Amino acid sequence: MAATVATPVSEESSQQQTGPTAAVTHSRLSKLPLARIKALMKTDPDVSLASQESVFIIAKATELFVEMIAKDALVYAQQGKRKTLQRKDLDNAIEAIDEFAFLEGKPCQA
């Protein structure tokens, strides 16, 4: 919960990180804060250095992942004749799809 509080600050800092000109192009290409993604990658003790483009690719991949899981969960919501996407729809999608196997056992599964 604490992480969400720092939202506006982190987005600005991620844009300032790569210089003013680059920030304009980056804001068009990536919707997610690159600095936060980089911080996430660094929590892995095996990771020493990550190139800027690798952070960018992960940002883009994350966007695709979010769209994918939302669309898959939507199927279950529609089966339940609901228009609101709920947590149990996501749980069903995670259980059903092989690629999402790494997400099983998450707290949201409770």
Partner 1 sequence: MDGDSSTTDASQLGITGEYMASGHYVLQSQDDDAEENLNDHEEGGVKENYREQDIYLPIANVARIMKNAVPQTGKIAKDAKECVQECVSEFISFITSEASERCHQEKRKTINGEDILFAMSTLGFDMYVEPLKLYLQKFREAMKGDKGIAGVTGAESLGEDLTDDTFTNPLPAGIITADGQQQNVMVYTTTYQQIPTVQQIQFS
Region 31-70 residues binding partner 1, contact defined as CB under 8 A = 31-33, 35-37, 39-41, 43-44, 46-54, 56-58, 60-70
Whether 18 and 52 have beta carbons less than 8 Å apart is answered as: yes
Closest CA to 100 of 89, 84, 53: 89
Task: Give min distance, CB of 70 to partner 1, in A.
Answer: 4
Give dist(CA 96, CA 76) in Å, integer: 11
Give dist(CA 26, CA 5) in Å, integer: 23
Q: Which of residues 67-96 bind partner 1 (CB under 8 A)?
A: 67-71, 73-74, 77, 83-87, 89-91, 94
Of 15 and 33, the one with the shorter C-beta distance to partner 1 is 33
Q: Which two tokens stand for residue 59?
A: 């940002």
Task: Give min distance, CB of 47 to partner 1, in A.
Answer: 5
Of 96 and 108, the one with the shorter C-beta distance to partner 1 is 108
Task: Give min distance, CB of 35 to partner 1, in A.
Answer: 8
Token pair 């600095």: residue: 35
